[in-house]
């Protein structure tokens, strides 16, 4: 594909092509590019941690859909059924929030909760998330559509 505009030709190139790599070695160019260009390996789009209690895996906490340019991610958390309602989810959520804001320097976290999941609603509320919206009938579960509730937390609110 070629885009021709005002005397410039922009020719689509595969990321593996090396013709422009020499230009990218210039520090004056690199400092003005996004983090994705500054790292030799690709920036991860998700970071997940398994949650263990006494060497027993009881769940997982993740930062998903990470947008490094916008400094935001979506929080995902689950705890094994027999280990729920013991404070593990709250501890794990606080830890992943702290990791996101203090270690990764993210600015915004988002969470999505099914409207009937009262335990998760209580969890995000306790962690300081703010309700931002409702996606009507956006999740199909057990033969019916459920609403998804969206929440956000900014680093300055943590």
What tens digit of pLDDT does each residue of 8-31 get? 677 667 666 666 666 666 666 656
Which domain, by its residues, includes 60? Answer: 47-157
Statement to judge: residues 126 and 78 lie in one domain: yes
Statement to judge: residues 25 and 93 lie in one domain: no
With contact defined as beta carbons under 8 Å apart, do 58 and 93 qualify?
no
Statement to judge: residues 122 and 94 lie in one domain: yes
Statement to judge: residues 80 and 140 lie in one domain: yes
Residue ranges in the chain whose pLDDT is less than 50: none
Statement to judge: residues 107 and 32 lie in one domain: no
Statement to judge: residues 25 and 85 lie in one domain: no
Q: How far apart are CA 13 and CA 19, in angstroms?
A: 9
CA angle 123–91–149, rounded 5-degree value: 25
pTM beyond cutoff 0.85: no
| Domains identified in the chain, total number | 2
Q: Is 90 helix (H, G, I), strand (E, B) or coil?
A: helix
pLDDT score of 53: 86
Write the pLDDT tens digit of every residue in 79-90.
999 999 999 999
Residue 83 buriedness (CB in 10 A; 0-12 / 13-18 / 19+): middle
pLDDT score of 6: 72
Q: How far apart are CA 137 and CA 144, in angstroms?
A: 8
Statement to judge: residues 71 and 138 lie in one domain: yes
Statement to judge: residues 33 and 60 lie in one domain: no
pLDDT score of 115: 95
């Amino acid at each position: 594909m070629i885009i021709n505009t005002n005397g410039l030709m922009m020719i689509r190139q595969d990321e593996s092509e090396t013709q422009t790599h020499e230009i990218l070695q210039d520090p004056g160019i690199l400092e003005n590019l996004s983090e994705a260009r500054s790292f030799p390996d690709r920036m991860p789009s998700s970071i997940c941690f398994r949650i263990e209690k006494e060497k027993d895996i009881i769940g997982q906490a993740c930062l998903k859909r990470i947008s490094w340019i916008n400094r935001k991610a979506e929080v995902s958390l689950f705890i094994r059924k027999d280990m729920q309602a013991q404070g593990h989810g709250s501890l794990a959520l606080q830890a992943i929030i702290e990791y996101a804001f203090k270690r990764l320097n993210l600015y915004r976290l988002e969470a999505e909760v099914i409207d009937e999941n009262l335990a998760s609603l209580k969890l995000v509320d306790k962690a300081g998330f703010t309700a931002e919206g409702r996606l009507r009938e956006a999740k199909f579960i057990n033969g019916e559509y459920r609403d998804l509730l969206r929440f956000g937390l900014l680093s300055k609110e943590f």
